[in-house]
Amino acid sequence: SIVSNLAAQKAAREQGDKGEELHAMDYLVYAYLQLGRDAEAARVLDELRAMNGLDGSDFKMGYAASAMSARYATERRQWSDAAQLVPVDGASPQVSAVTLWARSVGLARSLKPAAARQEIDKLRGVYEKLRATGDDYWATQVHVQTNEALAWVAQADGKDDEALKLMHAAADEEDAIEKRPVTPGAIIPAREQLGDLLLEANQPQEALTEYQRALTMTPQRRGALMGLAHAREMIASAAPNKN
């Protein structure tokens, strides 16, 4: 909850524990965004930018700082902002992947697929690096992120069938991953993105099904709830008028 995360942030700050402070701040940004309290989420980002002594190579610090910025841009569908995010200095490969994913999706959804592909090449490099070190958990996460980004590039290129195939694969792979406690889960779940993609492809009935599936795994997510409402509107407006 917001109250408990505010308390956790305050306690961590008083103890000088920057990792825990950032961890609480990331959860706060997530909670504010789900409630549509974007201005309060923005203030947490302002606090992040004002902080000194951040060690990007520390996983907890690097991940939280990267995730907060990626969340704020992508949850609000501000694709040009997402495209301009900069990886945290010194971040580990799996942490920098969060920013590379946001950049690639932001570029693809800004209809700049060529630039998005350059970021996807970097994501693939991260994937290979993680595979080489035997870190299968994070390699799988990055594989999902890569397929999501490729799906949006395909959509930008007008290849809806290819886009849906890639996003289906990403959603199925992500659903099979067991989440680790330090991470609050995907920035935007692949299943929810599949719903978004189906709406873009004018398939509201299929989108409705995917949003419902997404909400069983990540309840009360604002993006999925809004997508669900949009899908229902599209279905209703396409139905024959019975009056």
* Block mean pLDDT (10 aa), the chain, length 243: 95 95 96 97 97 92 97 98 97 97 99 98 98 95 98 98 99 89 81 99 98 96 98 93 57
Task: Give pLDDT tens digits for 130-181.
Answer: 999 999 999 999 999 999 999 999 999 999 999 999 999 999 999 999 877 6
pLDDT at 241: 67
Q: What is the DSSP string of the chain?
A: -HHHHHHHHHHHHHHT-HHHHHHHHHHHHHHHHHTT-HHHHHHHHHHHHH-----TTSHHHHHHHHHHHHHHHHHTT-HHHHHT--PPTT--HHHHHHHHHHHHHHHHHTT-HHHHHHHHHHHHHHHHHHHHTT-HHHHHHHHHHHHHHHHHHHHHTT-HHHHHHHHHHHHHHHHTSPPPTTS---SS-HHHHHHHHHHHTT-HHHHHHHHHHHHHHSTT-HHHHHHHHHHHHHHHHHSPP--
pLDDT of the residue at 180: 72
pLDDT at 240: 79
CATH number of 2-188: 1.25.40
